[in-house]
Amino acid sequence: MKIEHLSFAYGDKIIFKDLSLDLDGKLYSLTGDSGVGKTTLLKLIGGLLVPDKGNITDAPRTPSFMFQEDRLLPWINVRKNISLVTDDTEKMEELLRTLDIDGDLMPTELSGGMARRVALIRALCYRGDALLLDEPFNGMDEKLTDKCIELILKEDKFTVVSAHQSEVHVKLGSQIIHL
């Protein structure tokens, strides 16, 4: 994937000006200060935002997006939330078991870390050609983070992760893009 001369602004606030990147590897980590544009870049790659100038070639067609917020539908349970994006119930049940989540719980009954895990399971279950993960390990302890990293790596897809924990990038073995 190639980002060429990309510019993007929210109104008057310029986020990127003439940004060019070559992403010919498989695993990338986005780092940088808060507000620097990590989420915006993920959304631009994922096609949720359109650049003001420049272009992204060979961008993922159907990326699995894990947002900074969990964005689970509060009116249906965890299992239903995930099954809305996948028919692969076997994979869903396996991931729920692995990450120790009760699929019958409602999103309002989940702790912060549990909700992150559910959002990650949803992203992993989606038939996407890439993983775009925004702060996926928030609220998780080291053991759970390691488990999630293992699952992400197992997918073997083009992945971009934005995470503020520096040790995570080492564990992922990803190339770092510092914004």
Residues at the contact surface with another protein, assessed by CB under 8 A: 46, 48, 62-65, 67, 69, 71, 73, 75-76, 84-85, 122, 126
CB of 80 to another protein, least distance (A): 9
Tell me whether residue 67 or residue 179 sits nearer to another protein (CB atom): 67
Task: Please count the residues of the chain.
Answer: 179
Distance (Å, whole) CA 127 – CA 88: 9
> Distances from the Cα of 68 to the Cαs of 12, 25, 47, 72, 98, in angstroms?
23, 24, 16, 12, 22
CB of 65 to another protein, least distance (A): 4
Give the amino acid at 45.
I
Q: Using alpha carbons, select from 174, 143, 144 the residue that is nearest to residue 161.
A: 174
Token couple for 120? 């990650």
CB of 68 to another protein, least distance (A): 9
Tell me whether residue 124 or residue 145 sits nearer to another protein (CB atom): 124
Tell me whether residue 69 or residue 150 sits nearer to another protein (CB atom): 69
Residues 30/161, Cβ–Cβ less than 8 Å: yes
CB of 170 to another protein, least distance (A): 28
Tell me whether residue 86 or residue 165 sits nearer to another protein (CB atom): 86
Q: Which residues contact 11 (CB under 8 A, 6 or more apart)?
A: none
CB of 167 to another protein, least distance (A): 28
3-state secondary structure at position 173: coil
Tell me whether residue 85 or residue 151 sits nearer to another protein (CB atom): 85
